[in-house]
Amino acid sequence: MATPTSTAETEPKWPELLGSNNWEGLLDPLNLHLRTLILRCGDFIQATYDSFNNDKNSLYCGSSRYGKSSFFHKVMLDNPTHYTVASFLYATARVSVPEAFLLHSLSRESWDRESNWIGYIAVTSDERTKALGRREIYIVWRGTTRDLEWINVFGAAPESATGLLSAKSLSELNKNSDGGSSSSSDEEDDERRPKVMKGWLTIYTSDDPNSPFTKTSARTQVLNRIKSLLHLYRDESPSVVLVGHSLGASLSILSAFDLVENGVTDVPVTAIVFGSPQVGNKAFNERFNKFPNLKVLHVKNVIDIIPHYPGRLLGYEYTGVELVIDTRKSPSLKDSKNPSDWHNLQAMLHVVAGWNGDGGKFEMKVKRSLALVNKSCEFLKDEYHVPGSWWVEKNRGMVRREDGEWVLDAPDEEDLPVPEQD
């Protein structure tokens, strides 16, 4: 939802925008074309928040309000015909997780008792692909909007990520261990083994044989669908961009690593994330950095507390290249003391649109509606007269029947949750 106000800059080649040179010379000052890409990725993520049904009174709580065919039109994405939704992604968890991430209907007749819609895979349309000369594939993970309570209750303990390693990598890792016969407790203490936060791994790898939506884990859904798309578009210069905010950012980094670790090594695979918690330990980062086609750009608000969680004391490290911004630079935002505002995605996108470096003056470089900041918060100054949290369903989804009764409206047939085909 951003339009460049100037096109004077030379456009870097697509691999450069995806970090082939680790974004050298593109971050300070922030290159206009990279700025536009970052904002597009943010808008893809915002679409998951705008479409997620979080009303526990609804039979469809935890699903997308909009179906694949009309998804980008209904979330009012700029240029919705440039992209098509190839797949929806669903997740479950073998253990209890905070409601900030997985929500379920109060009704016993709900669409699914254990699964949640967790994001989608989108591709550039045929027409857009011809215009660009490449096929762009996006994996978009849903995160959390304002509720930060999960940081205190989500599993912060590091857990071995060897289950994500290819057979070849696992064999090499075991050979480097003491005799290859370490006990399970010794394995967990082995600093050479990549580890990631248990919470991320649980949601990414859990399945539910009883659910038609999560018979396979989110991990399996992504690996299978992306490899299929890369084969389908093998002659169209494909690339894979993973995007997410908050918990979704962590899943983006984790799944980007998983894709490349398990064979996607011949195309660019880049995660562009916002407000990401730390994902893994030193061994995870070292393994991550071995792949030349695998990159991460992390847009981080300097006062946001979430990127510092779970913390170095537990062995976690930051992953990727950082674009550090500061929401306090914008003259349009309140001097908020609310950590949720510091972590708000639309606030970060607003600042990206006007960011000119830590020492530069905040000045909008692309045309982007200021009102978007208040989609799910009240961070804009009152003088702009934009209501807070204004993106809501009309009448909270209630409709009046012919008999005069008010009831929750049922989705259109095209918007009903439908299991993805294997």
Q: In three state form, how does the secondary structure of 316-381 look?
A: EECCCEEEEECHHHCCCECCCCCHHHHCCHHHHHHHHHHCCCCCCCCCCCEEECHHHHHHCCCCEC
Q: Are 302 and 347 in contact (CB under 8 A)?
A: no
Using alpha carbons only, what angle is made at residue 38 by residues 37 and 40, rounded to the nearest 5 degrees?
65
Report CA Rg, the chain: 21
Using alpha carbons only, what angle is made at residue 406 by residues 400 and 411, rounded to the nearest 5 degrees?
70
Q: Cis ω on the peptide bond leading into residue 29 (within 30° of 0)? A: yes
Rounded-to-integer distance, Cα 255 and Cα 268, Å: 14
Residue tagged active-site, from 55, 207, 304, 415: 304
Active site (annotated) includes residue 326: no
Using alpha carbons only, what angle is made at residue 297 by residues 323 and 27, rounded to the nearest 5 degrees?
40
Copy the structure tokens of residue 391: 């993106």
Active site (annotated) includes residue 246: yes
Residue tagged active-site, from 33, 82, 298, 343: 343
Helices H, strands E: what count in the chain? Answer: 13, 15
Residue tagged active-site, from 63, 87, 246, 255: 246
Q: Are 63 and 115 in contact (CB under 8 A)?
A: no
Active site (annotated) includes residue 343: yes
* List of residues 6+ apart from 405 with CB closer than 8 A: none
Copy the structure tokens of residue 241: 């961009």
AA identity, residue 223: L
Rounded-to-integer distance, Cα 89 and Cα 116, Å: 9
CB count within 10 Å of CB 29 equals 14
270: left (phi over 0), alpha (psi -120 to 50) or beta: beta
Q: Is 239 helix (H, G, I), strand (E, B) or coil?
A: strand
- Which residues, in sequence order, are bridge partners of residue 84? 123
Q: Which residues are catalytic?
A: 246, 304, 343
